[in-house]
């Protein structure tokens, strides 16, 4: 990923900043400019809770380029408290020990090393809560 | 709007790993086959569905390239992109051009040349159909996204790995009868379940392959179809198109494909028919779980019953609702931009009675469902004997 793109995503990647629609209250992660529910264009910045549960998951055994050496790794969709869902790797748990509904907490971790520019890309991974 | 017919279809003769052929070669083979099938001597316009010629071959601007190599210099031609639904999007664009009266004979083509790059590069290119910043960033792959759909479907409805495997077995049974198929051989449930795991619970034999291939269709006004061509005109009765969130995580229900349901609803409304009036379907089985969720979202079977219906043989060639008589993406191959056009080709051949040993007797109306990403785009066409 080019460094400009990486830099502008820091608020959501590092701090879990989301956008809460000022008119209907729906929360978007990542932030958006228009509310898909009510059309509102005014948002407040809120921080997502860092606890939630696994909604669905898989174990990736053939990975794309930047992750090719990381396999096998677990990837899931996590529903945070309050209902926002996001994708994250599931770590610090045996691959055969993951269950749908499992409570997890997001932790700030290294996600991968960007090959060409040498940037270490950070974000959140889910660990058992 | 004018009524529109398909009067010609064609593909390069054999899909697969075609290291001796280029993108332009396979496209021109398909386009010439369709032009010859229609018996026309020119086209007025061309739309080419192609997901990512740039990432797969380093070539953009293929409207110009392919019109030139087709021997149609100055032809208005452009590329249409909706990830793996690009082919159907090209058919829709061609339909609109003919229906509007802007052009009379329009070619809808699709092409993808995927094996000029390594498997890792192909995985990366396909991954761009997902959310690059919030799915791929975390290591998502397409098998991984559909695996998550499969897990959710298993959790909610009790769908089993055997039910998923049966989709592959059934589609390979059909593909074994299709001369253009990349993998024209039969499989057993046991072979699927014992094949290497790619993204749990999906095995490699739950996945459609990486394929070089192209397909084309010739569209014209229905009222002039019989003058232009000796082939039985097939009317494009319904066209439906919808999008959904690109991110799987942002769908309310991951066991359902709302873009497919909405596209089908729109196509049925336009055609004035219901799902029970359809004799066969070509659907987007990029992974075995995809076919199950698609047949549920189209209303062919009730929610959650796709696996049971498949095990019971309802979607086989001799079932009450034949699905993927061509072999589907699974056995025929999945050159992503060509797939939607090839689905139309199979239905046209079935409706003309030209499907050989895989012919569904007396088929009068067929449906194609083509989707992009994990369901972020869907296009449904309904074709019928005019």
Question: What's chain A's length in residues?
Answer: 129
pLDDT tens digits along B305-324:
999 999 999 999 999 999 99
Contact B137 A123 (CB under 8 A): yes
pLDDT tens digits along B195-227:
999 999 999 999 999 999 999 999 999 999 999
Q: Judged by CB atoms within 8 Å, which residues 6-25 of A form the interface with B?
A: 9
Chain A: closest CA distance from residue B297 (Å): 20
Contact B124 A63 (CB under 8 A): no
Q: What is the predicted pLDDT for the residue at B267?
A: 98
Instruction: Please name the member of B120, B137, B197 whose beta carbon is closest to the beta carbon of A111.
Output: B137
Tell which of A17, A87, A113 to mutate to test the B interface (max B CBs under 10 Å): A87
Q: What is the predicted pLDDT for the residue at B287?
A: 98
Measured between alpha carbons, how far is B50 from B64 in angstroms, rounded to an integer? 14
Domain boundaries, chain B: 4-118+211-234, 141-207+235-385
Same-fold call for B4-118+211-234 versus B141-207+235-385: yes
B347 φ, ψ to 5°?
-65, -40
* Alpha-helix runs per DSSP H in B183-240: 189-194, 222-228
Q: Is B118 touching A (CB cutoff 8 A)?
A: no
Identify the architecture of domain B4-118+211-234 in CATH: 3-Layer(aba) Sandwich (3.40)
Measured between alpha carbons, how far is A92 from A85 in angstroms, rounded to an integer? 20
Neighbours of A78 (CB within 10 A): 26
Q: What is the predicted pLDDT for the residue at A65?
A: 83
Contact B137 A1 (CB under 8 A): yes
Q: Which residues of B are catalytic?
A: 84, 334
Please answer whether residues B150 and B142 qualify as being in contact, where contact means their C-beta atoms are separated by less than 8 angstroms: no
Task: For domain B141-207+235-385, give its CATH number from 3.40.1360.10, 3.40.47.10, 3.40.50.9100, 3.10.580.10.
Answer: 3.40.47.10
What pLDDT tens digit does each residue of chain A (129 aa) get? 557 888 899 999 999 999 999 999 999 999 999 999 999 999 999 999 999 999 999 999 999 888 988 999 999 999 999 999 999 999 999 999 999 999 999 999 999 988 777 789 999 999 999
What ipTM was assigned to the predicted interfaces of this complex? 0.96
A121 φ, ψ to 5°?
-95, 125
Q: Which long-range contacts (CB under 8 A, 24 or more apart) does A15-20 make?
A: A15/A47, A16/A47, A16/A48, A16/A50, A16/A106, A16/A124, A17/A45, A17/A46, A17/A47, A17/A48, A18/A45, A18/A46, A18/A47, A18/A48, A18/A84, A19/A43, A19/A44, A19/A45, A19/A46, A20/A44, A20/A45, A20/A46
Measured between alpha carbons, how far is B262 from B251 in angstroms, rounded to an integer? 14
Contact B137 A75 (CB under 8 A): no
Q: What is the predicted pLDDT for the residue at A2?
A: 55
Chain A nearest-CA residue for B252: A85
What pLDDT tens digit does each residue of chain B (386 aa) get? 999 999 999 999 999 999 999 999 999 999 999 999 999 999 999 999 999 999 999 999 999 999 999 999 999 999 999 999 999 999 999 999 999 999 999 999 999 999 999 988 898 899 999 999 999 999 999 999 999 999 999 999 999 999 999 999 999 999 999 999 999 999 999 999 999 999 999 999 999 999 999 999 999 999 999 999 999 999 999 999 999 999 999 999 999 999 999 999 999 999 999 999 999 999 999 999 999 999 999 999 999 999 999 999 999 999 999 999 999 999 999 999 999 999 999 999 999 999 999 999 999 999 999 999 999 999 999 999 99
Measured between alpha carbons, how far is A45 from A47 in angstroms, rounded to an integer? 7
Please answer whether residues A73 and A59 qualify as being in contact, where contact means their C-beta atoms are separated by less than 8 angstroms: yes
Tell which of B128, B134, B139 to mutate to test the A interface (max A CBs under 10 Å): B139
Residues in B touching A64 (Cβ below 8 Å): 120, 123-124, 127, 136, 139, 141
């Amino acid at each position: 990923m080019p460094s400009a793109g990486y830099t502008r995503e820091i608020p959501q990647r590092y701090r879990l900043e989301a956008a809460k629609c000022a008119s209907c209250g729906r929360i978007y992660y990542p932030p958006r400019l228009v509310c898909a529910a009510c059309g509102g264009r005014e948002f407040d910045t809120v921080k997502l809770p860092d606890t939630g549960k696994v909604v669905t998951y898989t174990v990736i055994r053939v990975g794309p380029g930047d992750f090719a050496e990381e396999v096998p790794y677990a990837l899931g969709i996590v529903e945070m408290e309050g209902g926002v869902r996001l994708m994250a790797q599931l770590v610090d748990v045996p691959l055969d020990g993951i269950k749908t509904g499992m409570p997890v907490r997001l932790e700030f971790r290294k996600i991968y090393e960007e090959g060409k520019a040498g940037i270490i890309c950070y974000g959140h991974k889910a660990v058992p809560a | 709007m004018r009524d529109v017919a398909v009067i010609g279809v064609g593909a390069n003769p054999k899909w697969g790993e075609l290291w001796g052929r280029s993108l332009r070669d396979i496209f021109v083979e398909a386009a010439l086959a369709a032009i010859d099938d229609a018996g026309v001597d020119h086209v007025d316009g061309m739309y080419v569905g192609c997901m990512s010629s740039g990432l797969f071959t380093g070539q953009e601007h293929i409207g110009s390239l392919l019109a030139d190599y087709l021997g149609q210099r100055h032809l208005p031609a452009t590329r249409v992109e909706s990830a793996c639904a690009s082919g159907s999007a090209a058919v829709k664009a061609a339909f609109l051009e003919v229906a509007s009266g802007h052009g009379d004979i329009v070619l809808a083509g699709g092409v993808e040349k995927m094996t000029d790059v390594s498997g890792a590069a192909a995985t990366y290119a396909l991954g761009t159909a997902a959310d690059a910043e919030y799915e791929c960033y975390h290591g998502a792959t397409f098998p991984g996204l559909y695996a998550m759909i499969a897990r959710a479907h298993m959790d909610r409805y009790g769908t089993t790995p055997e039910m998923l495997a049966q989709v592959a077995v059934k589609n390979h049974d059909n593909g074994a009868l299709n001369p253009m198929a990349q993998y024209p051989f039969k499989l057993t449930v046991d072979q699927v379940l014992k094949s290497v795991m790619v993204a749990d619970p999906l095995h490699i034999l739950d996945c459609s392959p990486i394929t070089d291939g192209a397909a084309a269709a010739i569209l014209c006004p229905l009222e002039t179809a019989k003058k232009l061509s000796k082939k039985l005109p097939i009317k494009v009765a319904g066209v439906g198109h919808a999008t959904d969130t690109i991110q799987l995580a942002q769908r309310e229900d991951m066991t359902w494909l709302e873009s497919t349901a909405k596209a089908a609803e729109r196509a049925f409304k336009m055609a004035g028919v219901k799902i029970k009036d359809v004799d066969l379907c070509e659907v987007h089985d990029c992974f075995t779980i995809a076919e199950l969720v698609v047949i549920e979202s189209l209303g062919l079977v009730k929610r959650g019953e796709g696996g049971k219906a498949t095990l019971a043989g309802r979607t086989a060639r001799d079932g009450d609702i034949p699905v993927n008589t061509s072999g589907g993406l699974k056995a025929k191959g999945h050159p992503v931009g060509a797939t939607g056009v090839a689905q139309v080709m199979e239905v046209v051949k079935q409706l003309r009675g030209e499907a050989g040993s895989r012919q569904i007797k007396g088929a009068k109306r067929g449906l194609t469902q083509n989707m992009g990403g994990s369901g972020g785009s869907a296009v449904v066409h309904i074709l019928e004997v005019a």
